[in-house]
Amino acid sequence: MNSNPKTTSTIATGGTPFTSQARRAGLKRLSAISALLLVALGSLVTAPALAQDIQSSPSFVDDFTSFDRARWYVSDGWSNGSHQNCTWSKGLVALSDGVLSLGFEKQKLKDRDYACGEIQTKQRFGYGTYEARIKTDTGSGLNAAFFSYIGPSDKQPWDEIDFEVLTKDTSKVQVNAYIAGKGNNEKLVDVAGGTDKAFNDYAFVWQKDSLRWYVNGQLVNTITDPAKLPTHAQKIFFSLWGSDKMTGWMGEFADPGRKLTLQIDRVAFTALGEPCQFPESLACSIK
């Protein structure tokens, strides 16, 4: 949908620039991390069944009544490669009435004819429930994404867990995972009513022995193969971007003739084994 005319307050950037969504361009995200928790053994003391093996920042809920600059970094002034036809711009990130909007519009920035929006957490998170309530726009050649990622820009291997709405078809969302830079775990799943007609809830539950994706509380995909499970703490991202080169995947790009938006009503991370943080949370109902 069109951006809300009240959405005028832009958000300043801060932190170290970080390229995301560059996997399709073939960027290599390699390297290694060792961040395991030591579990104390003692008489009559056992480790909790859901104890974490990956270091993680604490659980949080962000309903965007304000913008937490200690949590979020706003991408600004670069793009992720020749596949992307827009430049990240802090001017395309705006907060209004408890909804954070990421925009895409025709605006010449550097060597690109379009500007687009992305945010990412400054913290990294491990096993637990990741969930977001979002609404997309429509348009061929665009990608509206909620995902977690870590890679070479943080001197880590490339691990990633995705929800990607290719807005050429808003009846579906693509789920995926990358492990040490290897993907091929894509699955398209239906979104009843469409991703653009109303806010929908997207969540994944990442555990040591499984990875599960949910849409509006319904399980839509599961991975249990150890070789296809992430093993490194990751940052949380939201982005809206376009491409006039990746037509086979995203569709033929055409100037939408208006500003497009990805709207984010809420995002939360609940660490494994911790109680759910709000009544609608998937963490309240799953095991």
Catalytic position from the list 164, 252, 274, 280: 164
130 φ, ψ to 5°? Answer: -110, 130
Residues 283 and 83: their CA atoms lie apart, in Å, by 36
Told to judge if 164 belongs to the known catalytic residues of this protein, a careful annotator would answer yes
Instruction: Give whole-number Cα distances, 170 to 107, 109, 192, 199, in Å.
Output: 25, 28, 10, 12
The DSSP code sequence of 235-262 is EEEEEEEE-SS-HHHH------SS-EEE
Cα→Cα distances 87→45, 75, 103, 268, 280, Å: 53, 9, 11, 27, 35
Looking at 160, 186, 252, 280, which residue is catalytic? 160
User: How far is Cα 171 from Cα 188, in angstroms, rounded to an integer?
Assistant: 10
Active-site annotation holds for 160 = yes
Given the structure tokens 């509380």, which residue do they identify? 217
Tell me the catalytic residues. Answer: 160, 164
